[in-house]
Structure 1
């Protein structure tokens, strides 16, 4: 091969070698990124999914995340629990610079704060100048250019100070926390005033079903055993059941606080005692129980203390629809006249499912 041919071949190879790094550099797209989002322990049901997170980043940028060329690789992982959130973001740019790792933390109750901080960090990494540059000044035009028609200029991006604030991220994630339990059963001990001779102590069995997020259907039965009246010959008792509903002011897996209303129906009955070893001197002429109906309202607080074990307490008020004034023949009182407004306080233990 002649010397001129060798020199030409060496020159061509040198030109190719000089152009190769420039081509590689041209393939690196600093305005694009491959973003991954992983939810670790504690964040699965409280933080947004990877698809929602990536879609929100794309919406904020106004373009897709990855192009056909080389792009930055950003890997973000979030974990924690209410009051202690953390995120780790590893960024590897496509220009050959060493990878960087950023640790973020947030102590709020929801996942919103840590997710928003991670999103802002990623947005600034992909496009630090997005939406921050003021519109460029228009260059002077020559008379010839002024006479020629010009295509309409694209609308200038407003300065950062005049931009409307971005709407908040559509957090929390689509998966909410575990819904509150739907069934509770409890045994109650209660003390009443104004229904039977006071104080009237009794027991009750109650059941509750969550039918809507803030509404609970309740039912139950109660028994007030015979309580002696002021005239010790007589005693009165009550057996009844109820049906009602509670509006839950607080409802979670561990606490339920509600305002309840109910209708109570049952029977009240009288018992006559004699002296020791002596038959009673007073005999009833119309024996049997009497129907009893009342409307009630009150509060109920239930707290789960260990697993399904639940403790509860509350106060109820009753307005009897049927009131009885028990008397003997001749108008002599027996010691019980039901009040127009009665009350009961209760405490109980049960299970929540």
Structure 2
């Protein structure tokens, strides 16, 4: 059994539902009986300081009248964020022909491969409008028909509370306007799912440390430089963000810079001394660097702490024991 290096933030990633966008070009109707979040001209649970109206200027529009609303919507927000791409380039990444649509999971994955951080928003109108007010266009999933596949992705670019309307880049309409109730009912049918794609180092309003780092962690395997930039920015914003320290350690370990990885894991251990995961990873980095004695000391601390992944700590301890036996008796080397 080999020791297991732990990716703390990655383990906190929420499971995604498997709804997809079929991109029917129908006007949204009443498809949900969920309580409305805009009543009598006011938002329910309105964020403090939210402007009465806001518009994100300069959001690109990619017209689509087929099943490619997923690639079109994603291209819109990625190009806005500075990524050079087109819906056609994104189709192989996000479109599933057999389903005639795009899975939410694939949109998030393609965002990461483009070096952007996809942040899934709380299912609240106020949270979505807050991002628009901050200058972030929002990809939303709507139910736009009665059929099982009448799902549609669009990009919310503006809202007007006094005027009771929202504006979307949608299908063949560059500036589709709906009442807030119309939009909310079509959006609620899919669980009010929405996300933004942000550049590493950008911090959307209302997004806390854990949510941000949970969104960054999956970038480690597909866009490591973007992940590094995001983690470093997170530590400037939250100096005690031990998960960001762990992330930097993972990145250094992946490029076989074991001394640097050990430094980051040791920093994480100091920032969160009651958790065994940083010490486990520190032990693995020290072992990879060839210092089994120091590794043994680190894993003993992890074993003593015992949580949250004791089996992983025992696995690492077994690897260190093998290295120790080989060092003390070369004939025992595998």
| TM-score normalised by structure 1 residue count | 0.20
Whose relative contact order is higher, 1 or 2, with alpha carbons under 8 Å and at least 6 apart?
2
| Structure with the higher fraction of residues in helix conformation | 2
| TM-score normalised by structure 2 residue count | 0.21
| Structure with the higher fraction of residues in strand conformation | 1
Structure showing greater radius of gyration is 1
